[in-house]
Structure 1
Protein backbone atom coordinates (compact mmCIF):
# COMPACT_ATOMS: atom_id res chain seq x y z
CA UNK A 1 0.00 0.00 0.00
CA UNK A 2 2.76 2.39 -0.97
CA UNK A 3 1.79 5.96 -1.77
CA UNK A 4 1.44 6.64 -5.52
CA UNK A 5 4.48 8.26 -7.04
CA UNK A 6 4.16 12.02 -7.27
CA UNK A 7 1.37 12.29 -4.66
CA UNK A 8 1.71 15.56 -2.80
CA UNK A 9 1.20 15.88 0.94
CA UNK A 10 -1.34 18.28 2.41
CA UNK A 11 0.26 21.67 3.01
CA UNK A 12 -1.03 23.43 6.11
CA UNK A 13 -0.08 26.69 7.84
CA UNK A 14 2.10 25.15 10.55
CA UNK A 15 2.68 28.20 12.76
CA UNK A 16 -0.85 29.60 13.05
CA UNK A 17 -2.92 28.33 15.98
CA UNK A 18 -5.89 26.22 14.97
CA UNK A 19 -9.11 28.15 15.48
CA UNK A 20 -11.68 26.58 13.16
CA UNK A 21 -12.39 22.81 13.23
CA UNK A 22 -14.72 20.92 10.92
CA UNK A 23 -15.98 17.55 12.19
CA UNK A 24 -17.67 15.25 9.67
CA UNK A 25 -19.83 12.49 11.19
CA UNK A 26 -22.05 10.27 9.05
CA UNK A 27 -24.74 9.05 11.47
CA UNK A 28 -26.96 10.96 13.87
CA UNK A 29 -26.34 8.35 16.58
CA UNK A 30 -22.61 9.06 16.30
CA UNK A 31 -23.01 12.84 16.05
CA UNK A 32 -25.40 13.68 18.90
CA UNK A 33 -23.12 12.67 21.80
CA UNK A 34 -20.44 15.04 20.44
CA UNK A 35 -23.06 17.75 19.89
CA UNK A 36 -24.19 17.41 23.49
CA UNK A 37 -20.67 17.14 24.91
CA UNK A 38 -19.61 20.46 23.41
CA UNK A 39 -23.03 22.13 23.73
CA UNK A 40 -23.25 22.70 19.99
CA UNK A 41 -26.43 24.16 18.53
CA UNK A 42 -28.09 23.48 15.21
CA UNK A 43 -27.75 26.33 12.72
CA UNK A 44 -31.24 27.54 11.75
CA UNK A 45 -29.72 29.41 8.80
CA UNK A 46 -27.89 26.66 6.98
CA UNK A 47 -24.90 27.70 4.84
CA UNK A 48 -25.79 24.91 2.43
CA UNK A 49 -28.04 24.93 -0.66
CA UNK A 50 -31.77 24.96 -0.04
CA UNK A 51 -33.32 21.50 0.00
CA UNK A 52 -30.29 19.43 1.01
CA UNK A 53 -30.67 17.51 4.29
CA UNK A 54 -27.20 18.39 5.62
CA UNK A 55 -27.15 19.70 9.19
CA UNK A 56 -24.62 22.07 10.75
CA UNK A 57 -24.08 22.18 14.50
CA UNK A 58 -21.72 24.83 15.81
CA UNK A 59 -20.30 26.33 18.98
CA UNK A 60 -17.08 27.21 20.75
CA UNK A 61 -14.78 25.31 23.07
CA UNK A 62 -12.03 27.37 24.71
CA UNK A 63 -10.14 28.90 21.75
CA UNK A 64 -11.78 26.72 19.11
CA UNK A 65 -14.72 27.32 16.80
CA UNK A 66 -16.31 23.91 16.20
CA UNK A 67 -18.50 23.03 13.24
CA UNK A 68 -19.98 19.54 13.16
CA UNK A 69 -21.62 18.49 9.92
CA UNK A 70 -24.00 15.54 9.73
CA UNK A 71 -25.30 14.65 6.22
CA UNK A 72 -28.82 14.34 7.63
CA UNK A 73 -31.62 11.96 6.74
CA UNK A 74 -32.37 10.83 3.22
CA UNK A 75 -35.39 12.95 2.17
CA UNK A 76 -37.23 9.94 0.72
CA UNK A 77 -36.37 7.05 3.02
CA UNK A 78 -35.61 8.86 6.29
CA UNK A 79 -32.39 6.98 7.08
CA UNK A 80 -28.93 8.44 7.69
CA UNK A 81 -27.30 9.58 4.44
CA UNK A 82 -24.30 7.29 4.79
CA UNK A 83 -21.76 6.47 2.12
CA UNK A 84 -19.12 8.10 0.00
CA UNK A 85 -21.35 10.36 -2.12
CA UNK A 86 -22.94 12.20 0.80
CA UNK A 87 -19.62 12.43 2.63
CA UNK A 88 -17.79 13.88 -0.37
CA UNK A 89 -20.56 16.40 -1.02
CA UNK A 90 -20.84 17.66 2.55
CA UNK A 91 -17.06 17.84 2.93
CA UNK A 92 -16.74 19.95 -0.21
CA UNK A 93 -19.66 22.22 0.71
CA UNK A 94 -18.49 22.65 4.30
CA UNK A 95 -14.94 23.55 3.28
CA UNK A 96 -16.28 26.14 0.86
CA UNK A 97 -18.71 27.63 3.38
CA UNK A 98 -16.74 27.40 6.62
CA UNK A 99 -13.05 27.55 5.62
CA UNK A 100 -11.78 25.18 8.32
CA UNK A 101 -8.18 24.93 9.49
CA UNK A 102 -8.55 21.22 10.14
CA UNK A 103 -10.99 18.39 9.36
CA UNK A 104 -11.76 15.48 11.65
CA UNK A 105 -13.78 12.57 10.28
CA UNK A 106 -15.03 10.62 13.29
CA UNK A 107 -17.19 7.54 13.19
CA UNK A 108 -17.66 3.83 13.66
CA UNK A 109 -16.03 1.14 11.55
CA UNK A 110 -15.69 -2.57 11.06
CA UNK A 111 -12.44 -4.13 12.25
CA UNK A 112 -10.43 -7.21 11.34
CA UNK A 113 -9.38 -9.53 14.14
CA UNK A 114 -6.64 -10.87 11.86
CA UNK A 115 -5.07 -7.40 12.08
CA UNK A 116 -5.55 -7.16 15.84
CA UNK A 117 -8.81 -5.16 16.01
CA UNK A 118 -11.39 -5.72 18.75
CA UNK A 119 -14.83 -4.23 19.35
CA UNK A 120 -14.42 -0.88 21.12
CA UNK A 121 -10.91 -0.17 19.83
CA UNK A 122 -10.25 3.44 18.80
CA UNK A 123 -7.90 4.02 15.88
CA UNK A 124 -6.19 7.01 14.33
CA UNK A 125 -5.94 6.38 10.58
CA UNK A 126 -2.60 6.58 8.78
CA UNK A 127 -3.80 5.91 5.22
CA UNK A 128 -7.15 5.75 3.39
CA UNK A 129 -8.05 3.78 0.27
CA UNK A 130 -11.13 2.39 -1.49
CA UNK A 131 -11.84 -1.32 -1.85
CA UNK A 132 -14.85 -1.30 -4.20
CA UNK A 133 -13.67 0.89 -7.10
CA UNK A 134 -12.27 -1.80 -9.35
CA UNK A 135 -10.94 -0.45 -12.65
CA UNK A 136 -8.60 -3.12 -14.11
CA UNK A 137 -6.82 -0.80 -16.54
CA UNK A 138 -3.24 0.40 -15.93
CA UNK A 139 -3.14 3.63 -13.89
CA UNK A 140 -6.94 3.69 -13.65
CA UNK A 141 -6.54 0.83 -11.18
CA UNK A 142 -4.47 3.10 -8.91
CA UNK A 143 -7.03 5.86 -9.32
CA UNK A 144 -9.74 3.44 -8.24
CA UNK A 145 -7.88 2.47 -5.08
CA UNK A 146 -7.35 6.18 -4.42
CA UNK A 147 -4.72 5.78 -1.73
CA UNK A 148 -4.15 8.91 0.34
CA UNK A 149 -2.24 9.54 3.53
CA UNK A 150 -4.09 11.10 6.41
CA UNK A 151 -2.61 14.18 8.03
CA UNK A 152 -0.03 12.94 10.51
CA UNK A 153 -0.67 13.59 14.20
CA UNK A 154 2.24 11.89 16.02
CA UNK A 155 2.04 14.01 19.18
CA UNK A 156 -1.71 13.59 19.53
CA UNK A 157 -1.48 9.86 18.87
CA UNK A 158 1.25 9.40 21.48
CA UNK A 159 -0.35 11.62 24.12
CA UNK A 160 -3.73 9.90 23.88
CA UNK A 161 -2.18 6.44 23.42
CA UNK A 162 -4.26 5.70 20.32
CA UNK A 163 -3.74 2.77 17.99
CA UNK A 164 -2.82 3.51 14.37
CA UNK A 165 -4.42 1.68 11.45
CA UNK A 166 -5.00 1.79 7.73
CA UNK A 167 -8.57 2.38 6.60
CA UNK A 168 -10.41 0.92 3.62
CA UNK A 169 -13.63 2.54 2.42
CA UNK A 170 -16.55 1.17 0.42
CA UNK A 171 -20.25 1.85 -0.08
CA UNK A 172 -21.50 -1.46 1.31
CA UNK A 173 -21.84 -2.59 4.91
CA UNK A 174 -21.27 -6.22 4.04
CA UNK A 175 -18.10 -7.57 2.45
CA UNK A 176 -17.88 -9.62 -0.75
CA UNK A 177 -14.97 -11.91 -1.62
CA UNK A 178 -13.72 -9.28 -4.05
CA UNK A 179 -13.92 -6.66 -1.32
CA UNK A 180 -11.99 -8.90 1.06
CA UNK A 181 -9.25 -9.32 -1.52
CA UNK A 182 -9.02 -5.56 -2.06
CA UNK A 183 -9.06 -4.81 1.67
CA UNK A 184 -6.23 -7.31 2.15
CA UNK A 185 -4.30 -5.58 -0.63
CA UNK A 186 -4.93 -2.26 1.14
CA UNK A 187 -3.45 -3.76 4.32
CA UNK A 188 -6.40 -2.31 6.22
CA UNK A 189 -7.28 -2.93 9.85
CA UNK A 190 -10.59 -1.06 9.72
CA UNK A 191 -13.25 -0.44 7.05
CA UNK A 192 -15.90 2.26 6.79
CA UNK A 193 -18.20 3.95 4.28
CA UNK A 194 -16.86 7.53 4.30
CA UNK A 195 -13.19 8.04 5.13
CA UNK A 196 -11.46 7.79 1.76
CA UNK A 197 -14.08 10.09 0.21
CA UNK A 198 -13.43 12.74 2.85
CA UNK A 199 -9.69 12.32 2.31
CA UNK A 200 -10.11 12.82 -1.44
CA UNK A 201 -11.92 16.14 -1.05
CA UNK A 202 -9.60 17.35 1.71
CA UNK A 203 -6.58 16.71 -0.49
CA UNK A 204 -8.17 18.48 -3.46
CA UNK A 205 -8.83 21.60 -1.41
CA UNK A 206 -5.60 21.38 0.63
CA UNK A 207 -7.15 21.13 4.09
CA UNK A 208 -5.41 18.81 6.59
CA UNK A 209 -7.67 15.95 7.63
CA UNK A 210 -7.37 13.08 10.04
CA UNK A 211 -9.66 10.22 10.99
CA UNK A 212 -10.83 8.65 14.26
CA UNK A 213 -12.56 5.29 13.91
CA UNK A 214 -14.17 3.15 16.62
CA UNK A 215 -14.75 -0.55 15.96
CA UNK A 216 -18.37 -1.74 16.24
CA UNK A 217 -18.09 -5.11 14.54
CA UNK A 218 -15.51 -7.70 13.53
CA UNK A 219 -15.67 -8.22 9.78
CA UNK A 220 -13.82 -11.55 9.88
CA UNK A 221 -15.66 -12.73 12.99
CA UNK A 222 -18.48 -15.19 13.58
CA UNK A 223 -21.43 -12.78 13.95
CA UNK A 224 -23.41 -11.27 11.05
CA UNK A 225 -22.06 -7.76 10.43
CA UNK A 226 -25.38 -5.90 10.58
CA UNK A 227 -26.41 -7.68 13.79
CA UNK A 228 -23.11 -7.01 15.56
CA UNK A 229 -23.01 -3.41 14.34
CA UNK A 230 -26.44 -2.61 15.76
CA UNK A 231 -25.73 -4.51 18.97
CA UNK A 232 -22.58 -2.51 19.72
CA UNK A 233 -23.44 0.86 18.18
CA UNK A 234 -24.52 2.64 21.38
CA UNK A 235 -21.62 1.54 23.58
CA UNK A 236 -18.97 2.08 20.92
CA UNK A 237 -20.40 5.50 20.05
CA UNK A 238 -20.01 6.44 23.73
CA UNK A 239 -16.34 5.44 23.57
CA UNK A 240 -15.93 7.42 20.35
CA UNK A 241 -17.45 10.45 22.07
CA UNK A 242 -14.85 10.26 24.84
CA UNK A 243 -12.04 9.96 22.30
CA UNK A 244 -13.27 12.96 20.30
CA UNK A 245 -13.45 15.03 23.49
CA UNK A 246 -9.84 14.18 24.31
CA UNK A 247 -8.76 14.98 20.76
CA UNK A 248 -10.45 18.38 20.78
CA UNK A 249 -8.93 19.20 24.18
CA UNK A 250 -5.49 18.28 22.86
CA UNK A 251 -5.89 20.41 19.74
CA UNK A 252 -6.91 23.56 21.64
CA UNK A 253 -4.16 26.17 21.57
CA UNK A 254 -1.93 24.27 19.16
CA UNK A 255 -0.78 24.77 15.60
CA UNK A 256 -1.14 21.97 13.05
CA UNK A 257 2.62 21.39 13.23
CA UNK A 258 2.23 20.54 16.93
CA UNK A 259 -0.27 17.75 16.33
Structure 2
Protein backbone atom coordinates (compact mmCIF):
# COMPACT_ATOMS: atom_id res chain seq x y z
CA UNK A 1 0.00 0.00 0.00
CA UNK A 2 1.41 3.37 -0.96
CA UNK A 3 2.12 5.85 1.81
CA UNK A 4 -0.29 8.77 2.21
CA UNK A 5 1.52 12.07 2.31
CA UNK A 6 -0.04 14.85 4.35
CA UNK A 7 0.10 18.29 2.79
CA UNK A 8 2.46 20.70 4.56
CA UNK A 9 2.29 23.33 1.85
CA UNK A 10 -0.11 26.29 1.87
CA UNK A 11 -3.51 25.59 0.39
CA UNK A 12 -3.30 26.14 -3.35
CA UNK A 13 -0.69 28.68 -4.30
CA UNK A 14 -1.26 30.63 -7.49
CA UNK A 15 0.78 32.76 -9.85
CA UNK A 16 -2.32 34.58 -11.06
CA UNK A 17 -1.72 38.28 -10.47
CA UNK A 18 -5.18 39.43 -11.47
CA UNK A 19 -7.22 41.13 -8.73
CA UNK A 20 -9.43 38.76 -6.76
CA UNK A 21 -12.96 39.01 -8.11
CA UNK A 22 -14.91 36.01 -6.85
CA UNK A 23 -15.18 35.02 -3.18
CA UNK A 24 -17.15 32.26 -1.47
CA UNK A 25 -17.83 32.79 2.24
CA UNK A 26 -18.76 29.59 4.07
CA UNK A 27 -20.51 29.93 7.42
CA UNK A 28 -21.83 27.21 9.70
CA UNK A 29 -24.67 28.92 11.56
CA UNK A 30 -27.38 31.37 10.61
CA UNK A 31 -26.97 33.45 13.76
CA UNK A 32 -25.44 36.78 12.81
CA UNK A 33 -23.69 35.69 9.62
CA UNK A 34 -26.64 35.77 7.26
CA UNK A 35 -27.93 38.97 8.85
CA UNK A 36 -25.10 41.46 9.23
CA UNK A 37 -23.09 40.26 6.25
CA UNK A 38 -26.11 40.28 3.95
CA UNK A 39 -27.06 43.77 5.17
CA UNK A 40 -23.54 45.21 5.10
CA UNK A 41 -22.87 43.94 1.59
CA UNK A 42 -26.48 44.09 0.37
CA UNK A 43 -26.48 40.39 -0.40
CA UNK A 44 -29.78 38.80 -1.36
CA UNK A 45 -30.93 35.23 -0.99
CA UNK A 46 -30.96 33.28 -4.24
CA UNK A 47 -34.46 31.84 -4.82
CA UNK A 48 -33.09 29.69 -7.65
CA UNK A 49 -30.22 27.95 -5.93
CA UNK A 50 -27.77 26.07 -8.17
CA UNK A 51 -27.54 23.36 -5.53
CA UNK A 52 -29.26 19.97 -5.89
CA UNK A 53 -32.99 19.86 -5.32
CA UNK A 54 -33.92 18.95 -1.76
CA UNK A 55 -30.74 20.07 0.03
CA UNK A 56 -31.21 22.83 2.63
CA UNK A 57 -28.14 24.82 1.54
CA UNK A 58 -28.69 28.57 1.17
CA UNK A 59 -26.88 31.07 -1.05
CA UNK A 60 -26.76 34.84 -0.56
CA UNK A 61 -25.04 36.76 -3.31
CA UNK A 62 -24.24 40.24 -4.56
CA UNK A 63 -21.53 42.58 -5.75
CA UNK A 64 -19.41 44.68 -3.40
CA UNK A 65 -17.01 47.13 -5.04
CA UNK A 66 -14.93 44.91 -7.34
CA UNK A 67 -15.94 41.63 -5.74
CA UNK A 68 -18.60 39.04 -6.49
CA UNK A 69 -19.63 37.61 -3.13
CA UNK A 70 -21.36 34.30 -2.46
CA UNK A 71 -22.29 33.68 1.17
CA UNK A 72 -23.07 30.00 1.63
CA UNK A 73 -24.83 28.51 4.66
CA UNK A 74 -25.61 24.77 4.99
CA UNK A 75 -29.13 25.65 6.14
CA UNK A 76 -31.43 23.94 8.61
CA UNK A 77 -31.40 20.19 9.03
CA UNK A 78 -34.71 18.97 7.58
CA UNK A 79 -35.29 16.46 10.39
CA UNK A 80 -34.40 18.49 13.50
CA UNK A 81 -34.74 22.06 12.29
CA UNK A 82 -31.41 23.18 13.73
CA UNK A 83 -28.41 24.59 11.88
CA UNK A 84 -26.58 21.90 9.90
CA UNK A 85 -23.33 22.22 11.81
CA UNK A 86 -20.38 19.85 11.65
CA UNK A 87 -17.80 18.61 9.20
CA UNK A 88 -20.06 16.68 6.82
CA UNK A 89 -22.36 19.60 5.98
CA UNK A 90 -19.43 22.01 5.71
CA UNK A 91 -17.46 19.73 3.39
CA UNK A 92 -20.46 19.09 1.15
CA UNK A 93 -21.48 22.72 0.82
CA UNK A 94 -17.88 23.84 0.24
CA UNK A 95 -17.48 21.30 -2.56
CA UNK A 96 -20.79 22.34 -4.15
CA UNK A 97 -19.94 26.04 -3.88
CA UNK A 98 -16.54 25.58 -5.53
CA UNK A 99 -18.12 23.60 -8.36
CA UNK A 100 -20.88 26.16 -8.88
CA UNK A 101 -19.06 29.47 -8.43
CA UNK A 102 -15.38 28.80 -9.22
CA UNK A 103 -14.10 31.15 -6.50
CA UNK A 104 -10.67 32.78 -6.44
CA UNK A 105 -10.75 32.57 -2.64
CA UNK A 106 -12.74 30.90 0.13
CA UNK A 107 -13.35 32.51 3.51
CA UNK A 108 -14.57 30.21 6.26
CA UNK A 109 -16.01 32.47 8.95
CA UNK A 110 -17.26 31.05 12.21
CA UNK A 111 -17.15 30.83 15.96
CA UNK A 112 -14.78 28.69 17.98
CA UNK A 113 -13.83 27.68 21.46
CA UNK A 114 -10.50 28.98 22.72
CA UNK A 115 -7.90 27.99 25.28
CA UNK A 116 -6.95 30.70 27.76
CA UNK A 117 -3.72 28.82 28.49
CA UNK A 118 -2.74 29.53 24.88
CA UNK A 119 -3.77 33.17 24.90
CA UNK A 120 -7.41 33.14 23.81
CA UNK A 121 -10.16 35.30 25.31
CA UNK A 122 -13.86 35.57 24.54
CA UNK A 123 -14.35 37.88 21.56
CA UNK A 124 -10.85 37.40 20.12
CA UNK A 125 -10.65 37.13 16.34
CA UNK A 126 -8.11 34.64 14.97
CA UNK A 127 -6.82 33.87 11.51
CA UNK A 128 -5.98 30.15 11.37
CA UNK A 129 -2.47 29.27 10.22
CA UNK A 130 -3.11 25.51 10.22
CA UNK A 131 -6.17 23.24 10.34
CA UNK A 132 -6.33 19.67 11.65
CA UNK A 133 -8.83 17.16 13.05
CA UNK A 134 -8.78 15.96 16.65
CA UNK A 135 -11.47 13.26 16.62
CA UNK A 136 -10.46 11.05 13.67
CA UNK A 137 -8.43 8.50 15.59
CA UNK A 138 -6.98 5.77 13.35
CA UNK A 139 -4.09 4.17 15.29
CA UNK A 140 -2.46 2.53 12.27
CA UNK A 141 0.77 3.87 10.76
CA UNK A 142 0.14 6.50 8.06
CA UNK A 143 -3.64 6.23 8.57
CA UNK A 144 -3.06 8.11 11.82
CA UNK A 145 -1.63 11.04 9.84
CA UNK A 146 -4.51 10.86 7.39
CA UNK A 147 -6.93 11.05 10.32
CA UNK A 148 -5.31 14.18 11.71
CA UNK A 149 -5.36 15.66 8.21
CA UNK A 150 -3.14 18.62 9.01
CA UNK A 151 -3.14 21.34 6.36
CA UNK A 152 -1.71 24.82 6.13
CA UNK A 153 -4.19 27.62 5.59
CA UNK A 154 -3.40 30.17 2.90
CA UNK A 155 -0.97 32.68 4.39
CA UNK A 156 -2.14 36.30 4.58
CA UNK A 157 0.67 38.23 6.31
CA UNK A 158 -0.35 41.63 4.95
CA UNK A 159 -3.99 41.17 5.95
CA UNK A 160 -3.02 40.02 9.44
CA UNK A 161 -0.68 42.98 9.93
CA UNK A 162 -3.10 45.57 8.54
CA UNK A 163 -6.07 44.39 10.62
CA UNK A 164 -3.97 43.49 13.68
CA UNK A 165 -5.46 39.99 13.93
CA UNK A 166 -4.20 37.11 16.02
CA UNK A 167 -2.87 33.99 14.28
CA UNK A 168 -3.22 30.49 15.72
CA UNK A 169 -3.69 26.85 14.81
CA UNK A 170 -7.23 25.49 14.54
CA UNK A 171 -8.43 22.02 15.53
CA UNK A 172 -11.75 20.62 14.27
CA UNK A 173 -14.10 17.94 15.56
CA UNK A 174 -17.77 17.04 15.35
CA UNK A 175 -18.54 17.53 19.05
CA UNK A 176 -19.06 20.74 21.01
CA UNK A 177 -17.68 19.18 24.17
CA UNK A 178 -14.18 17.76 24.58
CA UNK A 179 -13.23 14.29 25.76
CA UNK A 180 -9.82 13.59 27.34
CA UNK A 181 -8.80 11.93 24.06
CA UNK A 182 -9.88 15.03 22.14
CA UNK A 183 -7.91 17.23 24.51
CA UNK A 184 -4.80 15.13 23.99
CA UNK A 185 -5.18 15.37 20.21
CA UNK A 186 -5.83 19.13 20.33
CA UNK A 187 -2.67 19.54 22.38
CA UNK A 188 -0.79 17.46 19.81
CA UNK A 189 -2.22 19.74 17.10
CA UNK A 190 -0.82 22.73 19.06
CA UNK A 191 -4.21 24.41 18.59
CA UNK A 192 -5.41 27.57 20.31
CA UNK A 193 -8.93 27.44 18.88
CA UNK A 194 -11.38 24.58 18.30
CA UNK A 195 -14.35 24.46 15.91
CA UNK A 196 -16.64 22.04 14.08
CA UNK A 197 -15.94 22.78 10.40
CA UNK A 198 -12.61 24.43 9.60
CA UNK A 199 -10.49 21.38 8.80
CA UNK A 200 -13.28 19.97 6.62
CA UNK A 201 -13.38 23.17 4.57
CA UNK A 202 -9.57 23.08 4.39
CA UNK A 203 -9.65 19.49 3.12
CA UNK A 204 -12.01 20.31 0.24
CA UNK A 205 -10.22 23.55 -0.63
CA UNK A 206 -6.91 21.68 -0.74
CA UNK A 207 -8.36 18.94 -2.94
CA UNK A 208 -9.70 21.46 -5.45
CA UNK A 209 -6.76 23.85 -5.15
CA UNK A 210 -8.62 26.96 -4.02
CA UNK A 211 -6.88 29.27 -1.51
CA UNK A 212 -8.80 29.37 1.77
CA UNK A 213 -8.55 31.55 4.86
CA UNK A 214 -10.22 30.95 8.21
CA UNK A 215 -11.60 33.73 10.40
CA UNK A 216 -12.62 32.46 13.83
CA UNK A 217 -14.16 34.35 16.78
CA UNK A 218 -13.95 32.90 20.30
CA UNK A 219 -17.31 32.33 22.00
CA UNK A 220 -16.19 30.22 24.95
CA UNK A 221 -13.10 29.34 26.94
CA UNK A 222 -12.65 25.59 26.88
CA UNK A 223 -10.25 25.49 29.83
CA UNK A 224 -12.28 28.02 31.83
CA UNK A 225 -14.69 27.55 34.72
CA UNK A 226 -17.98 27.76 32.82
CA UNK A 227 -19.72 24.87 31.04
CA UNK A 228 -18.92 25.09 27.32
CA UNK A 229 -22.53 24.94 26.07
CA UNK A 230 -23.70 27.55 28.57
CA UNK A 231 -20.89 30.00 27.76
CA UNK A 232 -21.26 29.40 24.01
CA UNK A 233 -24.97 30.29 24.04
CA UNK A 234 -24.40 33.23 26.37
CA UNK A 235 -21.82 34.85 24.08
CA UNK A 236 -23.00 33.69 20.66
CA UNK A 237 -24.93 36.79 19.55
CA UNK A 238 -22.30 39.34 20.63
CA UNK A 239 -19.37 37.34 19.28
CA UNK A 240 -20.99 36.64 15.91
CA UNK A 241 -21.61 40.38 15.55
CA UNK A 242 -17.90 40.98 16.16
CA UNK A 243 -17.08 38.20 13.69
CA UNK A 244 -19.25 39.74 10.98
CA UNK A 245 -17.52 43.10 11.43
CA UNK A 246 -14.13 41.39 11.21
CA UNK A 247 -15.14 39.62 7.99
CA UNK A 248 -16.33 42.95 6.62
CA UNK A 249 -12.87 44.40 7.33
CA UNK A 250 -11.22 41.38 5.69
CA UNK A 251 -13.31 41.78 2.54
CA UNK A 252 -12.61 45.50 2.36
CA UNK A 253 -8.90 44.71 2.61
CA UNK A 254 -9.11 42.08 -0.15
CA UNK A 255 -10.94 44.34 -2.61
CA UNK A 256 -8.62 45.35 -5.46
CA UNK A 257 -5.82 43.00 -4.43
CA UNK A 258 -4.51 39.83 -6.00
CA UNK A 259 -3.84 36.64 -4.06
CA UNK A 260 -0.12 37.33 -3.66
CA UNK A 261 -0.85 40.69 -1.98
CA UNK A 262 -2.75 39.15 0.91
Q: TM-score, normalised by structure 2?
A: 0.96
Task: Return the alpha-carbon distance in structure 2 between the equivalents of residues 126 and 6 of structure 1.
Answer: 11
| CA spacing shift, 1:200–1:42, aligned 2, 3 Å | same
| Partner of residue 106, structure 2 | 103
Deviations 1:207-242 (A, max 9, x none): 000100000000011000000000000110111011
| Partner of residue 250, structure 2 | 247
Please list, as runs of the form range in 1=range in 2, the aligned pairs for 1:67-216 lying within 5 A after superposition.
67-216=70-219
Deviations 1:107-140 (A, max 9, x none): 1000000101000000000000000000000000
Q: Is the 8 A contact 2:169 2:190 kept in 1?
A: yes
| CA spacing shift, 1:231–1:8, aligned 2, 3 Å | closer
Structure 2 unmatched runs, 5+: none
SS at match of 1:28: coil
Structure 1 unmatched runs, 5+: none
Q: TM-score, normalised by structure 1?
A: 0.97
Deviations 1:168-210 (A, max 9, x none): 0000000000000000000000000000000000000000001
Please list, as runs of the form range in 1=range in 2, the aligned pairs for 1:6-85 lying within 5 A after superposition.
9-32=11-34, 33-85=36-88
The alignment of Structure 1 onto Structure 2 pairs a total of residues equal to 257
Q: Is the 8 A contact 2:6 2:146 kept in 1?
A: no
Deviations 1:88-108 (A, max 9, x none): 000000000010000000010
| CA spacing shift, 1:174–1:247, aligned 2, 3 Å | same
Moved over 2 A (4+): 3-9, 11-14
Task: Return the alpha-carbon distance in structure 2 between the equivalents of residues 242 and 50 of structure 1.
Answer: 33
Task: Return the alpha-carbon distance in structure 2 between the equivalents of residues 30 and 147 of structure 1.
Answer: 29
Task: Return the alpha-carbon distance in structure 2 between the equivalents of residues 8 and 35 of structure 1.
Answer: 30
Task: Return the alpha-carbon distance in structure 2 between the equivalents of residues 124 and 6 of structure 1.
Answer: 18
Task: Return the alpha-carbon distance in structure 2 between the equivalents of residues 101 and 162 of structure 1.
Answer: 22
Q: Is the 8 A contact 2:222 2:228 kept in 1?
A: yes
